[in-house]
Structure 1
Amino acid sequence: MARPIGIYEKATPKHFSWQERLEFAKEMGFDFVEMSVDESDARLARLTWSKKERLELVKAIYDTGVRIPSICFSGHRRYPLGSNNPELEAKSLETMKQCIELAQDLGVRVIQLAGYDVYYEEKSSETRVRFLKNLRRACDWAEQAQVMLAIEIMDDPFINSIEKYLAVAKEINSPYLFVYPDTGNVSAWHNDLWSEFYLGHQAIAALHLKDTYAVTEHSKGQFRDVPFGKGCVNWEEMFAVLKKPTTKDRF
């Protein structure tokens, strides 16, 4: 069976209805669409969709035969699990629970989480401890809902390698926590690809294919809007790694 290849919602026209978006993905030859719930008001509003709105999307999935197996939940940039602000921390847990419930209703199996303790705030040992505490709670909810959580390898030093994810996973110790690498982000931090994917292959839920410009002594890198083949990803080596029998993830 060929590996499923999907398209991220943000790579499709924003004005599309979900019916149109799924039909577009099918016409383009993709197997699935990954939904975005980012920090914008418009996409965070999906967390409180009515039953009717949820059923309309489920019907579109069945009508087109194009699945939505995952949600990229980056709303935690705005409401981080490790926030120093008790109100933002509470909101991070509220939105996390809502996202898990949305996933249940839509048949989504994986929620990708941003690997930040905080994004707009100053990082500290306290933000890390708070992030881990709240991630444990999120994993408990995910286990009850039978929905997997998968941490993205980020554009941020907090979790910028599979190796760092594995350290977090060891502390959390949940069968419902996985990692969701990004080829560009992993490469931008000069990680050893063979070691990264060998160590983490059993924990990988899925993989984003993307190019980036590398982080250097003189540059913070660029983690989005980099054309394929123009960035730092060694695609020949990357696909050699991904062809190994131990790596069978969807793209």
Structure 2
Amino acid sequence: MLDLNKNLIGIYEKALPSHYTWEEKLSAAKKAGYDYVEMSIDESDERLYRLDWSVHERKEVVDAIRKTGIRIPTMCLSGHRRYPLGSEDDRIRQRALDIMRKAIILASDLGIRVIQLAGYDVYYDKSNDHTIERFEHGLEQSIQWASQANVMLAMEVMDYEFMGSVEKIMHYVRKFQSPYFQIYPDLGNISAWGNTLSTDLASGQGHIVAIHAKDTMPGEFRRVDFGTGCVDFIEGFRQLNQMTYKGPILIEMWNDDKEDFMAIITNARKWIMDKMQQAGMTV
């Protein structure tokens, strides 16, 4: 049963074996003590295919959620790295819009409440005023679709300078003024850019709907073991506590199908919970 007296702690799908069924993934997360799993829709053909799942394939996921009691309330939609909304190639940009529309429909079908967006105007091409303009128009259309489906979009603080801080995302929150467009900060990415964690989080007061927790180093945004990087988790969690943030905390990890993944994700949860407790948060 859902515990409403604490910040829920989730685990990223890529921390779990890729060959597992959804029931096996959710069961493993439950065994490790997690409250939920975040689904990944990345730029690979395998995961983009999920956007075209049949009714039967969607039902299999919903049945796994009901059977295990572990929800999938958030989706990490990073497929726009390959197909960005700001692309100057009309075919790529149309594919980006198709991905967004289908992701919103999939989220609605599976009970996913928040889609985390990747803030790339372009990624593999060079950014310019035109790509930013096209990105903004695409984002505006995406927010309209999300509002019609009653699904929230939340921009992640990225490993890409264009959206490299909460304050930069707030520009678009103020621009679009929609309850269906909010912020999904990544404590690691904020820190890797050299931003002051507490100050940057405070700039998003009232608009933060979920948190990614991972460790990083300056210029190194992935696969940094907890406790070996530059992120001051106690500072970040203390600031969130002062802001009375009660939303979910997602542990973002890539375990690459390691055999000891259960020990890794179990220890990561305990490590993060200790930092949260030191910061005064309820766990």
TMscore range, shorter length: over 0.9
2:119 corresponds in structure 1 to: 115
Deviates more, 1:159-168 or 1:188-197: 188-197
Q: Does 1:204 align with 2:208?
A: yes
Shift of 1:169: 1.6
**2: distance between equivalents of 1:82 and 1:173?**
21
**1: distance between equivalents of 2:59 and 2:179?**
29
1:36 corresponds in structure 2 to: 40
Instruction: Supply the AA of the counterpart residue of 2:194.
Output: H
* Residues 5-154 of structure 1 mapped to structure 2, 5 A cutoff: 5-154=9-158
Shift of 1:245: 4.2
Conservation of the 8 A alpha-carbon contact between 2:205 and 2:243:
no
Taking only aligned residues, the RMSD between alpha carbons, in angstroms, comes to: 0.9
1:244 corresponds in structure 2 to: 242
| TM-score, structure 2 as length reference | 0.85
2:227 corresponds in structure 1 to: 229
| TM-score, structure 1 as length reference | 0.96
Conservation of the 8 A alpha-carbon contact between 1:135 and 1:172:
no
Instruction: Supply the AA of the counterpart residue of 1:165.
Output: I
* Residues 154-165 of structure 1 mapped to structure 2, 5 A cutoff: 154-165=158-169
Conservation of the 8 A alpha-carbon contact between 2:85 and 2:122:
yes
**2: distance between equivalents of 1:98 and 1:146?**
14
Figure out how many residues of one structure are paired with residues of the other and give that number: 245
After superposition, what is the alpha-carbon deviation per residue over 1:115-157, rounded to whole angstroms, capped at 9, x for unaligned?
1111001100111111010100000000000000000100111
Instruction: Supply the AA of the counterpart residue of 2:242.
Output: K
Identity %: 51
After superposition, what is the alpha-carbon deviation per residue over 1:139-190, rounded to whole angstroms, capped at 9, x for unaligned?
0000000000000100111010000000122222222001111010011111
**2: distance between equivalents of 1:116 and 1:238?**
25
